[in-house]
Amino acid sequence: MRWALVKVCLAVTVMVVVAFAVPLGLVVQEMASDRAFSNAERQAATIGPTLSITTDPVQLRKAVESTQMGADRRMAVHVPAVGDDPRVDIGDGWAGERAVSETRRIGRAATAPVAGGGFALLQPVALGSGDIAVVEILVPESEVSNGVATAWLVLAGVGLALIVGSVAVADRLGARLVRPAERLADAAHRLGEGRLGARVPEDGPKELRSAAVAFNSMADQVVELLANERELAADLSHRLRTPLTVLRLNAASLGDGPAAEQTRAAVEQLEREVDTIIRTAREQRPAAAQGPGGVQGAGAGCDASEVIRDRMGFWSALAEDEGREVRLAGVDRTVRIPVARPELAAALDAMLGNVFRHTPEGTPFAVDVHDAGDAVIVLVSDAGGGISDPDAALRRGNDGGRDGSTGLGLDIVRRVAESTGGDVRLGRSVLGGTEVRVWIALDGRARGESARAGRGRRKRRRN
């Protein structure tokens, strides 16, 4: 493309230079010829007054020799025979008798080529007797073409400079056009090879800048979509933790024997595989499942009391098997929250699963629901050993190095809370262990603003 643009510009410039330089050179040549013959006509006119007075050869010779052309032996005077006076020829003739006779006959100036180069100007002059004398001026070739060669050289130099300049400008413009296009193509190849960090500088012509902006936006969307897919796989895999916990507890009660050992081994292997999937696919949550501003879509919501009672029906059975005391409060009345039922159930399972996973058997726990008017607070407390670093526990994937933990449980809880404009905090419970406090905001406007702020906080954490 770059060389094609240079060739086009070169061809156009050459045509323009030829179209203007050749006619201009011809005009200069014509002007030089006109200037030489005009000067010859003026010199011929200087002898006219003498011819109108006398045709005496002596007087005419003196008059011719007194002129510049006569002194240079470039003037001749041809006077025809008048009455008894003979014909008078002063100076050498160059055009020949025939050309002189023809000029005298037609009565106007004429030119004739001269052997050896140059021209002869034949100027008729009327005599007092009514006859016609002819003044002949020699115009050398050097005067006819005086300055023409220089003019052609100047025009050729100017044309060559224009051609070189146009090629240089075309090359620069071509580079300015081609380099952004090459960068765009290279970035597309790198993105196709799986290097998701490939981006294009947004410079160059307006159209290529728009293409670069579109490419970068597309690359960001690809990265976001892949991240969303990985997060979706992680979240879905994390929800398998609850049935896996049941399988593990049931397998523990099978006693001894080959079948029991095989079942427990299979459950442990399945847990490891799920953990591997979660650790491999940890990234952002799909934005498509949320409405504008990151808030749950319109119409999403559930009765928090009903969901908590339903999930506690499941976890209470496990708690009874492990000898855990359970306290449930605040779920005796309807508490509507702007969270979809599956999301709240997943968050509650994540919190209770952590209690069963990270506290010894027999450790009591409690679930409390408080309606604060503009928010609903869900508290999950236990009497275990507590969390030494609450801030680190809330960072996504922080606990991924610990066996049986991927660090996604509390991240699911935090994301559900922040989608409403709320938050999650960890602290010391009244039972002596860990307290997970989930603040679910009910104000729609606050939800949108806080959700955007929450996404900004998560982005800063990842950075």
What is the side-by-side strand order in the sheet with 326-329? 326-329, 365-371, 375-382, 434-441, 423-428
Angle at Cα 221 formed by Cα 215 and Cα 227, nearest 5°? 140
Judge contact between 326 and 319, C-beta under 8 A: yes
Rg of the chain, C-alpha, whole Å: 54
CA dihedral 283, 287, 288, 294 (to 10 degrees): 150
pLDDT average, residue stretch 215-225? 86
How many Cα atoms occupy the beta-carbon half-sphere of 175 within 13 Å?
Answer: 5
pLDDT band at residue 458, thresholds of 50, 70 and 90? very low
Q: What six digits make up the tokens of 371?
A: 């309606």
Q: For residue range 347-368, what is the model confidence (pLDDT) as tens digits? A: 898 899 889 888 999 999 999 9
Angle at Cα 337 formed by Cα 394 and Cα 447, nearest 5°? 60
pLDDT average, residue stretch 151-164? 89
Q: For residue range 375-387, what is the model confidence (pLDDT) as tens digits? A: 999 999 999 888 8
pLDDT band at residue 393, thresholds of 50, 70 and 90? confident
**Residue 84 or residue 93, greater confidence:** 93
- Checking if the pLDDT of 2 tops 90, the result is no
Share of the chain above pLDDT 70, in %: 83
pLDDT band at residue 395, thresholds of 50, 70 and 90? low
**Amino acid 450: pLDDT:** 45
pLDDT average, residue stretch 250-259? 74
Cα 310 to Cα 117: distance, rounded to the nearest angstrom = 121
- Checking if the pLDDT of 58 tops 90, the result is no
Cα 405 to Cα 276: distance, rounded to the nearest angstrom = 10
pLDDT band at residue 416, thresholds of 50, 70 and 90? confident
Q: How far apart are the first and last CA of the chain?
A: 41
Residue 463's alpha-carbon distances to 280, 300, 418, 459, 460, in angstroms, are: 18, 31, 19, 6, 5
Q: For residue range 295-312, what is the model confidence (pLDDT) as tens digits? A: 444 345 899 999 999 989
How many Cα atoms occupy the beta-carbon half-sphere of 409 within 13 Å?
Answer: 22
pLDDT average, residue stretch 184-188? 87
Q: Are strands 326-329 and 365-371 parallel, antiparallel or unpaired?
A: parallel
Average predicted confidence (pLDDT) for the chain: 80
β-partners of residue 368 are 329, 379
Q: For residue range 423-455, what is the model confidence (pLDDT) as tens digits? A: 999 999 989 899 999 999 987 544 444 444 444
pLDDT band at residue 326, thresholds of 50, 70 and 90? very high
SS3 string of the chain?
CHHHHHHHHHHHHHHHHHHHHHHHHHHHHHHHHHHHHHHHHHHHHCCHHHHHHCCCHHHHHHHHHCCHHHHCCCEEEEECCECCECCEEECCCCCCHHHHHHHHHHCCCEEEECCCCCEEEEEEEECCCCCEEEEEEEECHHHHCCCHHHHHHHHHHHHHHHHHHHHHHHHHHHHHHHHHHHHHHHHHHHHHCCCCCCCCCCCCCHHHHHHHHHHHHHHHHHHHHHHHHHHHHHHHHHHCHHHHHHHHHHHHCCCCCHHHHHHHHHHHHHHHHHHHHHHHCCCCCCHHHECHHHCECCCCCEEHHHHHHHHHHHHHHHHHHHCCCEEEECCCCCCEECCCHHHHHHHHHHHHHHHHHHCCCCCCEEEEEEECCCEEEEEEEECCCCCCCHHHHHCCCHHHHCCCCCCCHHHHHHHHHHCCCCEEEEEECCCCCEEEEEEEECCHHHHHHHHHHHHHHHHHHHC
Cα 322 to Cα 354: distance, rounded to the nearest angstrom = 15
Lowest average pLDDT, out of 30-34, 111-115, 181-185, 274-278, goes to 274-278
**Residue 318 or residue 291, greater confidence:** 318
Judge contact between 55 and 82, C-beta under 8 A: yes
